[in-house]
Structure 1
Amino acid sequence: MNYDTRIAAEDLAVTDSAAVLMGDAEEERQSRRKLWIIGLAVLAGLIGIWFLTHSGDDAASGDKKSQAAVVSVVAPGRGTIEGAINVTGTLAARRELPVGVPGEGGQVVSVLVEPGQWVGAGQVLAVIDRSVQVQQRASQAAQIDVARANAQLAQANLDRALKLVERGFVSTADIDRLTAQRDAAVAQVRVAGAQLGVLNAQLNRLNVVAPAAGLVLERRVEPGQVVSAGSGILFRLAKGGEMELRALLGETELAQVSNGVRAEVTPVGGAKTFTGEVWQTAPVIDPQSRQGIARVALPYAPELRPGGFATAVIKAGTVVAPMLPESAILSDNEGSYVYIVGKDNKAERRNVKTGLVTANGIAVVEGLSGTEKVVLRAGGFLSPGETINPKVVTK
């Protein structure tokens, strides 16, 4: 029994020793694994640091390159530029003649003209009923006959008295009285004649006539209508049929236009272009819109209808200067300016003065010689001294 117990104890001891040995081996393997993991982590860290270091250098180099913004530039040179100002406006009669009732008026008997018809100076446009005025004139003509008869009688009485005064039958006082009667009768003849002249003038003014030769633009009266001096305009005429375009221009453009310059006018909806010339520019500028009117004289044409809308190209002379697109010219409180490529590809601000505006661009009359490289667009995002990467654009 003791022997078996000792054997079992020895077996147990052996078993415990084996377990201890196995545990030590496992712990050694785990330690070795941890060392490998730590070594790999350190290696990965070193590799990461190397990549970060080199990629930082590359990124810095890339940043420096990316900071130089790529911009399109052009050397505009100098050339002869023909100014052309595009404007819009309204067609109208150059000299519009409003015609109303010149006299007392009355009922319209007939209207003799239609819109679009040509009339001469003094031509009757409308006739007003004159039956009452005709009777008044006839009555006044009879009054003249009565006055003349009275004057003749007074003259005869005076003549007889003058023959009797030598015989002493008529006194000097009677002669003076008869002379005064004769003079009064003669004066009555003149008064009656003047009154007849007034009636004739009133009768003639019953006709509505054209004050000058021209084109009838509008008729506002019909037969049977009762009109008077307060009835307003009955007809509108265009004197001589002459038309004009009243074009609205900004104050800068208006300063470039002078009387006599040529203009090409095209009515809206029409394909035909008419040639005219500026005959008047507004002496004042509207303070709200900052615009003024240039009036372009045009000959008569059926396509030019007053009140219609039209476009025009006004020739504003020529100038020798660099030409730039609108996108290249900026402005602020100091005025207009552009960006040019300076030393070491640095953006440099250059103040300029603009001139003629055309469909192809804007003339720069001061500030550029034409040899500079000017930033075409995106100048609003640049600042003086900023490094740029210019790309020359061929015009």
Structure 2
Amino acid sequence: MAACLGGAAPPFVSSVSFAQQPGARQAPPPAVVVEKIEVQQVSNPAQFTGRVEAIEAVDIRARVTGFLHSVDFKDGQAVKAGDTLFEIEPDQLNALVASARAQVARADATRISAERSLARNRDLLARRTVSQATVDEVQAAFDVASADVQVAQAALDTAELNLSYAHITAPISGSIGRATFTTGNLVGPDSGSLARIVSLDTVRVAFAVTEGLLVTIRQQQASGGGLDPNTLKLSLRLANGTDYGTPGRIEFIENEIDPQTGTVAARAVFPNPRHILLPGQFVTLYVQEKDAPSLPVVPQTAVLQDREGRFVYLLGKDNIVSQQRIHTGARVGNGWAVTKGLDGGEQVVVEGIQRLAQGMTVQPSQGQPVGGGT
């Protein structure tokens, strides 16, 4: 991700040296404050506003009509897949199952009788006692009886399935909300949701990537650089200002830009073992490189600029200062990361800098190290 320069621009100064005039009285060396250049890990995270979403959520509904016999959970408790949630009174459903079984037995008895009749008539046909037309009629009666058995069996299967629906279990594991119906109420397929289960152990964070950043990512991919999700560090900041301790990963980036907003939808996945993140919650998402480079960081007050670019004054041997040209990158706390010109460990002038010139002798004192932060 491209790093952006921030803060006020360094003062624009001349780099002309001041020569001492022969015979002139020499002024005492100017007092300056110096700091040691520290090497720090530099990252420039992108910041997004995200919304927490459940990966799995199920509305529990009644599939058969009946009176609620029991509600077998407490509002808000954790449930596992297969746990009993509701019981619908099964008496009427048991009666329908019994009736369907009787119809199966009746149809099967009729089929057996038709099968025996068909066997007798085939034997009589072989003896030329009955006509072929009679045998055909008996065969048709047997076929109808066999089909009636299948119809009765299907009705029994349906009745038994409806009976099983009287025992309502959790299809997924998660946290269940409040029951919208209590014991004794008549419920059915038109009653709406009886309760809602939301899986919280792992959640998604939906956010929108700006069109400009997406173009940058695509350009990196086109040039062979790419954007490996495994090289990114995703972190969250909660509404109370605290940081969420568990990192996440990019799950999905949409393949079309929303013309209304100029953004593309993306999702990240975060483990949520303590259920701190709840669906509908707004969070701040930070995306940065996992292995950010380590660069020298120079205090902002030490940087000057002239027509040739930016530079600092380094303290050398015998307290003599010299100009050092630098290239700066991202802001890091109250300093700048230096991409070229410094290696770390140098002594740089941070106060009294406006009075300096190349090769001047100074009286240095040590200042406070530049503060870090991202």
TM-score, scaled relative to structure 1: 0.57
Within-5 A mapping of 1:201-350:
201-212=161-172, 214-223=173-182, 224-239=184-199, 241-246=201-206, 258-259=229-230, 261-265=232-236, 267-268=238-239, 273-280=244-251, 282-283=253-254, 288=261, 293=266, 295-308=268-281, 315-316=288-289, 317-321=291-295, 323=297, 340-342=305-307
Aligned-partner Cα distance in 2 for 1:291–1:361:
33
Cα offset for 1:236? 3.0
Deviations 1:84-139 (A, max 9, x none): 63857667454122223262444433222234433333333222344433322222
Q: Secondary structure of the equivalent of 1:297?
A: strand
187-196 vs 93-102, greater mean Cα deviation? 93-102
Aligned-partner Cα distance in 1 for 2:309–2:293:
33
Deviations 1:343-385 (A, max 9, x none): 7999xxx9x8955x665666576xx6459xxxx9xxxxxxxxx
Aligned-partner Cα distance in 1 for 2:310–2:336:
25
Give the superposed CA RMSD: 5.0
Instruction: Summarize the Cα distance change of 1:149–1:267 in structure 2 as closer, same or farther, 3 Å threshold.
Output: same
Deviations 1:46-72 (A, max 9, x none): xxxxxxxxxxxxxxxxxxxxx989xxx
Mind listing any 5+ residue stretches in structure 1 that lack a counterpart?
Answer: 1-66, 329-337, 377-387
Instruction: Summarize the Cα distance change of 1:313–1:360 in structure 2 as closer, same or farther, 3 Å threshold.
Output: farther
Whichever of the two has the greater Rg, that structure is 1
Instruction: Summarize the Cα distance change of 1:76–1:236 in structure 2 as closer, same or farther, 3 Å threshold.
Output: farther
Count of matched residue positions in the alignment of Structure 1 and Structure 2: 300
**Residue from 146, 151, 156 that aligns with 1:196:** 156
Aligned-partner Cα distance in 2 for 1:246–1:364:
35
Within-5 A mapping of 1:125-164:
125-164=85-124
CA contact (8 A) 1:262 1:315 kept: yes
Cα offset for 1:259? 4.6
Aligned-partner Cα distance in 2 for 1:101–1:390:
80
Q: Secondary structure of the equivalent of 1:188?
A: helix
Mind listing any 5+ residue stretches in structure 2 that lack a counterpart?
Answer: 1-11, 15-33, 218-226, 312-324, 344-349, 358-366
Within-5 A mapping of 1:52-71:
none
Q: Secondary structure of the equivalent of 1:125?
A: strand
- The structure with more helix, counted as a fraction of residues: 1
Q: Which one-letter code corresponds to 1:218 in the other structure?
A: G
Aligned-partner Cα distance in 1 for 2:74–2:237:
27
Cα offset for 1:178? 1.0
Deviations 1:296-353 (A, max 9, x none): 411411544444455666552312556578x89xxxxxxxxx972347999xxx9x89
Within-5 A mapping of 1:84-123:
85=45, 92=52, 94-101=54-61, 103-123=63-83
> Identical aligned pairs, as a percentage?
23
